[in-house]
Structure 1
Amino acid sequence: MGVIDLARLNVRDFFDEARAASPEAPFVIFTTDDRAYSFREAGGFIDRAAAAWHELGVRHGDRVAFMLGNTPEFLWAWLGLARIGGVLVAINTGFREAEAGYLVRDSGARIALADDEFAGMLAPAGRPVLTPAEFGALAARSGLDPAPAVDLAGDDLISLIYTSGTTGDPKGVMQTHRNFVLTGQAYIDWMRMEPGERIYACLPLFHINSQAYSTMAAIAARGALVLAPRFSASRFWPDVRRHRVSVFNFIGAMAMILTKSQASPDDADNHVRIAYGVPALAVEVVDEIEARFGLRCISGFGMSETTFGLLEPSTDRGIPARWGCRVTTPTRACRPPRRRSSTSRAPRCCAARGELLLRNAAMMSGYFGLAEKTAETLVEGWLHTGDSAYQDDDGFFFFVDRMKDIVRRRGENVSSLEVERVIARHPSIAEAAVIGVPAELSDEELLVFVVPRDGVDAAPLSAGDVFAWAAEHLAPFKVPRYLRFADALPKTATAKVQKERLRAMDADDPAGRIVREPDRRDER
């Protein structure tokens, strides 16, 4: 292999190389109708989309807002936009008018492409809005001239990935062509993907996972992206088996939902070799997934701000795939200082918890239009993640929790994630989420939201059962004081629990808590 010019890496050339090498290999398979599109056929749609964008006046560096579900048409329109240097601004399809309009205006999008159900929602933002049918008709029009060739550089923007906005207004993470190409190339190495293998994508295409990991990996492997409209527990394994999927990504509660589903004798009857996801799962859950479904399950750490982070080894040998990583040494609970470093070398750290910092070749360019916030987050090349972690003596890093989700209880720091994992292992519990609530005297108390399991094999569940399970498996100071049962947890479209909504729900009805009787051990 020759020397790779990082300055010239771009998704247009990346796809064209795959199209030339494997023109008749399937690139996209849509599970709704099982329609397969080869690299050659998909390339034709992408070329026509590029020409359509150019005719609409979109030029290099222009932003275009998408509010679309998972369909092949999303991919054609996006990859066509990337061919002429346009920048995708993909909007969460769960957003309401004000939220969606904010992204359109903040990004300075020139035009919008939206499903029929969302088109009216984007109109008040004051930009032209096309539906997929209208755009498709333009792209298919006979006589449409090809889009002029555009000089693309590695650091040209390809996508603005907006953060969830849990600490303020959403921020547009600027991701580049180079980052996406490097991610696709790296992912197939991380997952040991062979040429032609298939990756299942049920996470939304407005999320960086489906854009940078799944789509780019399919291109890198000359393999197929098996695209589903959304995650469905009932359709997941039938889709995976029918299309002989080798790899899939999970996020949020997906893995727990699959493990809590009714066991079947054919659970291991699939072609999946490996599943990758975040957050890291408890060892017991990983063991259950691997034994029941006959696959390898690994976890990693990544962010919208960087697609390279931390990764468990995909085999029993070796160390985690990582680049520059370090943990700040805390001097006070939960708020370690942002220590500047004059070296890029990651120092050996003790097991003390601190903020996880990352530095690698696939970092964001910054936050769109937010120079000051960018400077706060990227310090001398180090990305301050806002996550608490520690490093052991063998060099492995361990994620603790989002720093804002660590609960300070009676002088101890409690990871909400740790408590959630333990409680969710109860056989009659589908999901659990923990938040901190004000205590009577100082610090905070823990409140757990619990969703009981459905199904004929699910035993009845009482508050006493939950508290007893927590007391058996957790240190006394980690056992929640309060409990609330819920039919479901509020989630983003990427299956992340919306803890701000849980806090609002509790604030609206604090009397709805179930209180655990105090235990003498709590005073220790």
Structure 2
Amino acid sequence: MSSVFDEFSSSAALYPERPFLHIPALAASAYSASAVDYSYREMATAVAALAAEFAAAGYRCGHRLGLMLENRAEFFSHWLALNQLGVSVVPLNSEMQPDELAYLIEHSDIESAVALEQTVALLQQANQLLAAPIAIVTPAQLAELPAPRRAGSERRPDSDSECALLYTSGSTGKPKGCILTNQYFTAFGAWYRDAGGLCQLEPGAERLLTPLPLVHMNAMAVSTMGMLMTGGCVIQLDRFHPSSWWQSVRDSGATIVHYLGVLPAILLNLPASANDDCRGRVKFGFGAGVNPKHHAAFEQRFGFPLLEAWAMTESGCGGTIIANREPRHVGSCCFGKPSVAVEYKLIDEQRREVAAGQPGELLVRARGDNPRYGFFAGYLKNSEATAEAWRDGWLNTGDVVRAGSDGSLYFVDRRKNVIRRSGENISALEVESVLVQQPAVDLAIAIAVPDELRGDEVMALIILAAGQQPSHELAEQIVTTALQGLAYYKVPGFVAFVSELPMTASQKPRRADIKALGQQLHSSGDCFDTCALKKRQPNVTAASRSPL
């Protein structure tokens, strides 16, 4: 098959009456009086109608269109319809601030955007910041969608056609647009279908529940493609609701759940219940980042394995590694052994391979004649960053890993300036660039500090401008101001005011030393806690929320 739409059409022909999508009533309560359900046949009908509307508006292969449709059925139908025409989708996160969205709109060259009625105003605010505003319509207004400004192509989309442009926060400031082809998505679906072991998928039978946002790779490329290419059903939640999680699992008939590390921690804190044991119902959980001390306790209490995996948007399935076979080394940050399809090596900061058992940066590539098979196609408008990511012919991940004696890999740390909070990759440089715009701030460095629930939390070490005095009130003022330019989850949850920071001879921050200093200040309490300010902003609707 050459495209996501082709794979969907194949499954729709094989499993027309099987459920394709189920959104439980609670997850749909903001806009529906009941659960939302689509069979493969029903989704195919909706997709055909939408494709006809987009085609009538002049959308063709080579165009891009933004989608701010949250975790709703409309996201799936619009994505598939546009993919049929060869139009790439750019998922837009309604938790972002207008200037963040303006950057994505301008950088991605999207022709227009389809948004839910309650998020149109947010996109319009972003539009006002642009020299060339785009058209914004709701799903009910597609007939009013103007023709694209750029010419498209009449060629039929194929495996190399761009399917989606996903933005990921890296180590160099502004988010980078990862170009993902049809092959990226179909290869991931095939990977999941064929992985076997403890994550064996039964064709036409699985029901996969995920609370993860459709603006991210996991929900689009892993859960959706895994189900779409095996005739399974995606159970899409609006977000993670701890109090009703197990009810949703039971009522939806989920056989698989996807998670982030924060979910097991929260679920273990819930009161014990007679309904805790999911043996015989849930086969496995697929995710990453579970706290090692929670891993065994979760499996014992709830009765199914949490299969830890490693991947990143750039790696696609070409570098994915998962602990889907024993021994999984539960409680040790182990994410399994690389399959025969994945080559890897671990290097030190001088790019030398490390000795056995020593930690080093993980480099990955696909084995065989095409080392980039299944990986991203590159960063949009940033060939330099693409070349750096593929330095020496390997994807340089920035994650520090060690190998055990049996070949299993264990996550150790991140070498990149990236903070991983509740599944969101946050660029330290992006946070710093917003903080230093404030008159009270002379220098700011953002780091990750440990968080029991979220994995990482953002901490800012700040040198104040002359005349400013450290105080809790000033820390809150700085964070509150930062909320005007950053999504809530990116702003610092802790602020430490310092008189100086470790610097190199050329006056560049010594980030390893600064990270150690920050973690020391955090553990000793010599900082101000601003976590209470990290709340979803009013422009966010009830149906579009990150897991935490």
How does the TM-score come out when normalised to structure 2?
0.71
CA positional deviation for 1:351: 2.2
Residue in 2 aligned with 1:386? Answer: 398
Residue in 2 aligned with 1:229? Answer: 238
Alignment of 1:409-448 (within 5 A): 420=450, 424=452, 433=457, 435=459, 437=461, 443-444=513-514, 445-447=516-518
1:233-262: per-residue Cα shift (whole Å, max 9, x none)?
122211111011011111242222222222
1:350 corresponds to 2:356: yes
User: In structure 1, how many angstroms separate the alpha carbons of the residues matched to 2:400 and 2:237?
Assistant: 34
Partner SS state of residue 9, structure 2:
helix
Classify 1:433/1:80 alpha carbon distance in 2 versus 1 (closer, same or farther; 3 Å): same
Gaps of 5+ in 2: 29-33, 146-152, 329-335, 367-372, 420-446, 462-497, 503-512, 537-544
1:212 corresponds to 2:242: no
Residue in 2 aligned with 1:337? Answer: 350
Residue in 2 aligned with 1:274? Answer: 284
User: In structure 1, how many angstroms separate the alpha carbons of the residues matched to 2:499 and 2:410?
Assistant: 29
Contact 1:405 1:435 (8 Å CA) reproduced: no
Classify 1:251/1:439 alpha carbon distance in 2 versus 1 (closer, same or farther; 3 Å): farther
Residue in 2 aligned with 1:320? Answer: 337
Contact 2:137 2:144 (8 Å CA) reproduced: no
CA positional deviation for 1:478: 11
Letter in 2 for 1:12: F
User: In structure 2, how many angstroms separate the alpha carbons of the residues matched to 1:291 and 1:244?
Assistant: 21
User: In structure 2, how many angstroms separate the alpha carbons of the residues matched to 1:157 and 1:149?
Assistant: 15
1:111-158: per-residue Cα shift (whole Å, max 9, x none)?
1111122223323241111112223x789xxxxxxxx99522212110
Residue in 2 aligned with 1:132? Answer: 139
Contact 2:61 2:156 (8 Å CA) reproduced: no
User: In structure 2, how many angstroms separate the alpha carbons of the residues matched to 1:436 and 1:390?
Assistant: 29
Partner SS state of residue 129, structure 1:
strand
Partner SS state of residue 357, structure 2:
coil
Contact 1:446 1:482 (8 Å CA) reproduced: no
User: In structure 1, how many angstroms separate the alpha carbons of the residues matched to 2:364 and 2:165?
Assistant: 20
1:375 corresponds to 2:392: no
Task: Please provide the CA RMSD for this pair.
Answer: 3.1
Partner SS state of residue 395, structure 1:
coil
Letter in 2 for 1:178: Q
Classify 1:491/1:404 alpha carbon distance in 2 versus 1 (closer, same or farther; 3 Å): farther
User: In structure 1, how many angstroms separate the alpha carbons of the residues matched to 2:455 and 2:392?
Assistant: 40
Letter in 2 for 1:207: H
CA positional deviation for 1:380: 4.4
1:259-317: per-residue Cα shift (whole Å, max 9, x none)?
222222211147211001122530x3111111111111111111111222343432326
User: In structure 2, how many angstroms separate the alpha carbons of the residues matched to 1:430 and 1:171?
Assistant: 23
CA positional deviation for 1:494: 4.2
Q: Which has the higher contact order (CA 8 A, sep 6+)?
A: 2
Q: Of 18, 22, 27, which aligns to 2:15? A: 22
1:318-341: per-residue Cα shift (whole Å, max 9, x none)?
9624343434432xxxxx1346xx
Partner SS state of residue 303, structure 1:
coil
Residue in 2 aligned with 1:96? Answer: 97
Question: How many residues are aligned here?
Answer: 424
Residue in 2 aligned with 1:192? Answer: 200
Letter in 1 for 2:6: D
1:70-122: per-residue Cα shift (whole Å, max 9, x none)?
11011100111111111010011201111111111101001111112222332
CA positional deviation for 1:379: 2.4
Letter in 2 for 1:187: Y
CA positional deviation for 1:35: 2.8
Partner SS state of residue 23, structure 1:
coil
Letter in 1 for 2:159: G
Residue in 1 aligned with 2:107? Answer: 106
- Mean Cα displacement is larger for which, 317-326 or 384-393? 317-326
User: In structure 2, how many angstroms separate the alpha carbons of the residues matched to 1:356 and 1:491?
Assistant: 34
1:359 corresponds to 2:365: yes
Q: Of 402, 407, 410, which aligns to 1:398? A: 410
CA positional deviation for 1:176: 1.1
Gaps of 5+ in 1: 1-7, 140-147, 331-335, 340-346, 408-415, 449-476, 497-524
1:383-405: per-residue Cα shift (whole Å, max 9, x none)?
11111122223222221122146
User: In structure 1, how many angstroms separate the alpha carbons of the residues matched to 2:342 and 2:354?
Assistant: 12
Classify 1:304/1:131 alpha carbon distance in 2 versus 1 (closer, same or farther; 3 Å): same
Contact 2:261 2:455 (8 Å CA) reproduced: no
Classify 1:478/1:277 alpha carbon distance in 2 versus 1 (closer, same or farther; 3 Å): farther
1:344-402: per-residue Cα shift (whole Å, max 9, x none)?
xxx89522222111112210000011111111111244111111122223222221122
User: In structure 2, how many angstroms separate the alpha carbons of the residues matched to 1:74 and 1:157?
Assistant: 17
1:260 corresponds to 2:269: yes
Partner SS state of residue 100, structure 1:
helix
Classify 1:313/1:269 alpha carbon distance in 2 versus 1 (closer, same or farther; 3 Å): closer
Contact 1:11 1:177 (8 Å CA) reproduced: yes
- Mean Cα displacement is larger for which, 125-134 or 41-50? 125-134
Partner SS state of residue 406, structure 2:
coil
User: In structure 1, how many angstroms separate the alpha carbons of the residues matched to 2:90 and 2:529?
Assistant: 37
Letter in 1 for 2:212: L
Matched-pair identity in %:
30
Partner SS state of residue 399, structure 1:
strand
How does the TM-score come out when normalised to structure 1?
0.74
